[in-house]
Amino acid sequence: MKKTGFRFNYLRRNITNMNELLISTPKNIVMSGIRPTGFLHLGNYFGAIRNYVKMQNEFECYFMVADLHSLTTHPDTKELKQNVYRVVAENIACGLDPDKASFYCQSHVRETSELYLYLNMLAYMGELEKTVTFKDKARQNPDNINAGLLTYPVLQAADILLHRAGYIPVGKDQEQHLEMARTFANRFNRRYANIFPEPKAFNYNVELVKVPSLDGTGKMSKSENQAATLYLADDDITIRKKVMKAKTDNGPTEKNTVMPDYIENIFALMKLVCSSDKIEKYTADFNNATIRYGDLKKELGEDMVNFIAPIRLRAKDLLGDEKKLKEIMEQGAEKANKSAKATMVAVREAMGLNY
Ligand code: TRP
């Protein structure tokens, strides 16, 4: 281990048996979290959950419902339990398998809070204040700029480092948080002992799927722009209605014109759920200037219904079975706690908190 050049080298402990403390090597451990705020939508499915379902077959996975994170912006906990249950039910309905991945609730793994505390001493005010998500949320909610909001990225780093995860399947909006998790991990490693691998964003090298909103403005959203977002909990009539209202126009008047953005978006949505024959047909219709958007939307609506309805029904069934939901979360917490406890023994040892 390199001994020079570290500012806090004098604080490092003499740890001889670190390997004994760490049960598994950090390779191939996956971790990600979902905040239980708002309803899951098609963008969550194609952007995240679908990858989780694939990853659970290939890696040691920890997927977590970030209820503690939600307290930074949602102090009212009246609906928290229901929201946690719904996120769990919807993920399972999408194919997440609690026998393969550990799927747990953040507050059920108490070591999260302990590691968060230690990491807070390694996080500087200046860097926390510069975080884009902090500045955004502070602007949106000037009456509740609490310390938890400021240290949100520290809690996220704790989630990740607690399992010594290396692969984090998240979207672009989480890149800065991941960068900070790497910073805190490296700081800990230099100051105390080399425990944490550097967590890196993970995706399957496929082009990132686009799930645009139905009105041609931006992406689908958990809480905003609900009429232009397809939720996994939407009923068939709502799905059809939303799709029929998607922004179109009278169609091209000439052959082979450039597709407007909002029409491109509708084709992007078709690519998610429609057969390639159907997409080819409507692409040809567009190029021949014979396209009928009413027909297209009717077919897209039906395919969306066929895609979402089974997920909604499975989630609904599970939501009615509180006992089963509890079992799933307990099973997940048991696995997550085992991994967390092993890491924390090493962390306490490294920090000299072992007397
Ligand atoms: N901050 C993430 C989001 O808003 C959720 C999250 C919490 C998370 N803990 C995490 C993501 C750990 C990845 C890893 O989407």
Tell which atom from ligand 1 comes closest to the C-alpha of 171: 15
Report yes or no: 190 and 11 within 8 Å, Cβ to Cβ.
Answer: no
Centre of ligand 1 from the C-alpha of residue 159, in Å: 8
- Which residue among 30, 31, 34 has the greatest number of ligand 1 atoms within 8 angstroms of its CB, and so is best to mutate? 34
Pocket test for ligand 1, best of 83, 113, 159 (most atoms within 8 A of CB): 159
Taking the CA of residue 69 as reference, the ligand 1 atom at the shortest distance is 7
Q: Is the pLDDT confidence value at 335 over 50? A: yes
Residue 151 CA to residue 138 CA, distance in Å, equals: 12
In whole angstroms, give the CA distance from residue 314 to residue 26. Answer: 34
- 308 and 236 assigned to the same domain: yes
- Residues touching ligand 1 (Cβ under 6 Å) are 31-33, 35, 66, 69, 156, 159-160, 168, 170, 174, 177
How many Å apart are CA 72 and CA 149, to the nearest integer? 5
Sequence-distant (6+) residues with CB within 8 A of 240 are 301, 302, 304, 305
Same domain, yes or no: 298 and 338: no
Neighbours of 103 (CB within 10 A): 27
pLDDT of residue 199: 96
Residues 76 and 109 in one domain: yes
pLDDT in tens, 37-53: 889 999 999 989 999 99
Same domain for 298 and 190: no
> How far does residue 168's CA lie from ligand 1's centre (Å)?
9
Within 8 A by CB and 6+ apart from 98, the residues are 92, 328, 331, 332
Nearest CA to ligand 1 atom 4: 35
137 in active site = yes
Number of domains observed in the structure of the chain: 2
C-alpha to C-alpha distance for 332 and 109, rounded to whole angstroms = 10
Whether residue 153 lies inside any domain: the answer is yes
- The answer to whether residues 72 and 184 belong to one domain is yes
At residue 207, the pLDDT reads: 64
Quick check: 168 and 201 in contact, CB under 8 A?
Answer: yes
pLDDT confidence of 225, banded at 50, 70, 90? confident
Report residue 132's pLDDT band, with 50, 70 and 90 as the boundaries: very high
Q: Is residue 301 domain-shared with residue 204, that is, in the same domain?
A: no
| Same domain for 290 and 186 | no
Active-site residue 341, yes or no? no
Half-sphere exposure of 285 (CA within 13 A, CB side): 16
Q: With a cut of 70, say whether residue 5 has pLDDT above it.
A: no
What is the number of other CB atoms lying within 10 angstroms of the CB of residue 343?
A: 22
Ligand 1 atom 14: residue of nearest CA: 32
- Ligand 1 centroid from CA 226, angstroms: 22
Residue 247 confidence class, pLDDT cut points 50, 70, 90: very high
What's the rounded Cα separation, in Å, for the pair 131 and 137?
10
Q: Domain containing 273: what range?
A: 226-317
Answer yes or no: are the C-beta atoms of 84 and 107 closer than 8 Å.
no
H-run or E-run covering 189: helix 175-191
Distance 78 CA to ligand 1 centre (A): 22
Handedness of CA 1, 167, 23, 7 (dihedral sign): positive
| Catalytic-labelled residue, pool 3, 54, 135, 219 | 219
* Residue 156 CA to ligand 1 centre (angstroms): 6
pLDDT at residue number 18: 53
Per the annotation, the verdict on 219 as an active-site residue is yes
Give strand pairing partners of 200.
Answer: 167
Cα 191 to Cα 8: distance, rounded to the nearest angstrom? 5
Does residue 326 sit in the same domain as residue 313?
no
Rounded to the nearest angstrom, the distance between the alpha carbon of 165 and the centre of ligand 1 is 13
Let me know whether 172 and 241 are in one domain.
no
17-31, 59-73, 88-102, 287-301: least confidently modelled range: 17-31
Q: What CATH number corresponds to the domain at position 23? A: 3.40.50.620
Are residue 51 and residue 103 in the same domain, yes or no? Answer: yes
| DSSP secondary structure code for residue 247 in this structure | -
- State the closest ligand 1 atom to the C-alpha of 199, by its place in the atom list counted from 1: 14
Is residue 215 within 8 A of residue 187, CB to CB? The reply is no
**What's the mean pLDDT in 50-69?**
96
192: left (phi over 0), alpha (psi -120 to 50) or beta: alpha
Judge whether 220 lies within some domain: no
Instruction: State the average pLDDT over residues 235-262.
Output: 96
What's the CATH number where 256 sits? 1.10.240.10
- Whether residue 19 is predicted with pLDDT greater than 80 in this model: the reply is no
Q: Look at residue 10 and tell me whether its pLDDT is greater than 80.
A: no
Q: How many CB atoms lie within 10 A of CB 217?
A: 13
Any idea which residue has 């659970």 for tokens?
Answer: 56
More confidently predicted of 224 and 232: 232
Q: 326 and 310: one domain?
A: no
- Name 64's bridge partners: 33, 104
Q: How confident is the model at residue 234 (pLDDT cuts 50, 70, 90)?
A: very high
Residue 221 belongs to some domain of the structure: no
219 found inside a domain? no
Same domain, yes or no: 269 and 154:
no
Closest to 254 measured CA to CA, from 294, 290, 295, 296 = 290
Question: Which of 2, 3, 54, 137 is the catalytic position?
Answer: 137
Domain for residue 216, yes or no? Answer: no
- Does residue 215 belong to any structural domain of this protein? no
**Which has more pLDDT, 274 or 206?**
274
Query: Considering the domain boundaries, does residue 218 fall inside one?
Result: no
In this structure, is residue 217 part of a structural domain? no
Q: Which of 100, 210, 222, 278 is catalytic?
A: 222
| Residues paired with residue 34 on neighbouring β-strands, in sequence order | 65
Q: In the prediction, which pLDDT does 290 show?
A: 96
Of all protein residues, whose CA lies closest to atom 6 belonging to ligand 1?
33
